[in-house]
Amino acid sequence: MTTDITVHLDNDPSIREEGFFEAKAFELNVRIAVLEYDNAELVKSNKELKERVEKLASRQPQWPKGYRPHKNNRFHKAPHNKRF
C-alpha cells in the first residue's frame, strides 16, 4: 500500500509541491512560536532593567564620608597641584 502512495506522489508533482509547502509552513509556524516566546522573555527582561535603571538614575548620589566633589577645572588650583 505504501508503494501505491509513492507512485501516486511521483506521478503528480502538484501534490508533492503542496506537501513541500505545507511542511515549510509548519516549520515556519514552529519557528514563529519559538521567536515569539524569546521575544516575550526579552521584553520582560528589558522592562525589569528599564525600571532598575530609572530607579538608579533618579536617586541622589551618595558620596563617601569626607569626599567633596569638585568641578574638573584645569585652572582650579588644588593643594595637590602646588609646586614647591
Reported as a single tens digit per residue, the pLDDT across 27-51 is: 999 999 999 999 999 999 999 999 9
Alpha helices in 1-84 (DSSP H): 2-11, 13-58
The mean pLDDT value for 15-34 works out to 92
Q: Model pTM?
A: 0.51
Q: Where are the domains of the chain?
A: 2-81
Q: How far is CA 66 from CA 42, 63, 73, in A?
A: 42, 8, 21
Mapped onto helix, strand or coil, the DSSP state of residue 5 is helix
If DSSP codes are grouped into helix, strand and coil, which group holds residue 31?
Answer: helix
